[in-house]
Amino acid sequence: MIQMAKSIVKIKDYYKYLPDLKESWLLLLIMILGGSVLGGVVSVFVTLFTPSLYDWSTAISYPFMFLPPAIFIYFRVKYIRQGDSVPFDDPKFGRVGAPLFFLLLIPMVLASGVIIDPLSELLTMPEFFKKFLEQVSQNRLAGFVSLAILAPLMEEFFCRGIILKGLLKAMSPAKAILWSALMFGIMHLNPWQALPAFLIGVILGWIYYKSRSIWAVIFIHFLNNSVSFLILVLFPYLPADATLRDIIPGDLYYYVYFLSLIVMSIIILIIKKCYDQVISSQIQSGN
């Protein structure tokens, strides 16, 4: 019994797992290949054997996509005897303070959504994602759970809590943030989502680098996806690939866009000026 207890990997043991660039790409590949297959099998199983849960098939199968990389990390961690220990979440909000910091994230998310929105007009939404949005419309609760709960939790622990945390140890913060954002975009498996996801990933990476708070980036991801879900619910008559230009009339759209640029710039300056830059020294020193 004692030997069995010793063999169990504790959560704190995962703090020692700091993947470099090569291993981060391997994790992404395992998630895309193994996770997609496993998630697809679970979704088919749910559809065939529990038809009443069809609308919940995405929410049920989604966490299974992250199981293959989790298994890989589990066995990898078992062989890590020595090394730096860096928690997933070790928030230090500097002179900004937690209440103001989280308050600033709300207009930041809204502004970034407006700024990134025109990218949706450059590419065509894939059919599988249109079907997913139709499924969301049919069962809003299941859609909300998938978009606003599971996606922020699973993707942020994977992309920021694991990959970015390791890359910040292996390279400069700028390179680490860009590489993790690129992986975040690729993870969505379609160009229509990949480009906006890359830009959002840069914001998420920068916030994680500054705050060292996994819950801050989960909060941003939650807000971003919740706004998209709310638009889908409030404007059901719009096509799935509609943009804010279809919602905000005339010249008002350009005023909103310009205001968003100003708001985003101000918030970035506030955080940059008032924030203690702690994460790089923490990770590079292993404290």
Model pLDDT, residue 227 = 92
Which residues span the domain enclosing 196? 88-285
- Asked, for residue 200, whether it belongs to a domain, the answer is yes
Q: Calculate Rg over the CA atoms of the chain.
A: 20
Q: Rounding to the nearest 10 degrees, give the CA dihedral for residues 263, 197, 143, 123.
A: 100
Q: Does any domain span residue 36?
A: no
Question: Does residue 116 lie within any of the structural domains?
Answer: yes
Tally of structural domains, the chain = 1
Does residue 76 fall inside a structural domain? no
Asked if residue 44 is part of any domain, the answer here is no
Along the chain (287 residues), what's the average pLDDT of each consecutive run of 10 residues?
A: 51 87 97 94 91 87 94 87 82 85 95 91 81 80 92 96 95 97 93 91 96 95 94 82 84 95 94 64 46
Residue 122, pLDDT score: 81
pLDDT for 158-175, tens place per residue? Answer: 999 999 999 999 999 999
Listed residue (172, 169, 209) closest to 85, CA to CA: 169
Residues in CB range of 241: below 8 A, 6 or more apart: 120, 124, 125, 130, 192
Distance of alpha carbon 110 from alpha carbon 187, whole angstroms: 23
Q: The tokens of 44 are what? A: 């088919």
Q: Rounded to 5 degrees, what are φ and ψ at 79?
A: -100, 5
Question: Which residue from 180, 148, 191 is spatially nearest to 27, judged by alpha carbons?
Answer: 180
Q: Say whether 255 sits in a helix, a strand or coil.
A: helix
Structural domain includes residue 176:
yes
User: How many alpha carbons fall within 13 Å on the CB side of residue 131?
Assistant: 7
**Percent composition of the chain: helix, strand, coil (DSSP 3-state, to 5):** 80, 0, 20
Residue 227 inside a domain? The answer is yes
* Residue 280 contacts residue 209 (beta carbons within 8 Å): yes
pTM, 2 dp: 0.90
* Residue-level pLDDT at 93: 84
pLDDT at 262: 97
Backbone phi, then psi, for 248, in 5-degree steps? -90, 120
Is 276 within a domain?
Answer: yes
89 SS3 class: coil
Output the CA torsion 4→7→13→19 (10° steps): -150
Residue 1: per-residue pLDDT: 42
Count of other CB atoms within 10 angstroms of residue 43: 19
pLDDT of residue 282: 46
- Cβ-contact 40, 33 below 8 angstroms: no
Q: What is the pLDDT of residue 244?
A: 87
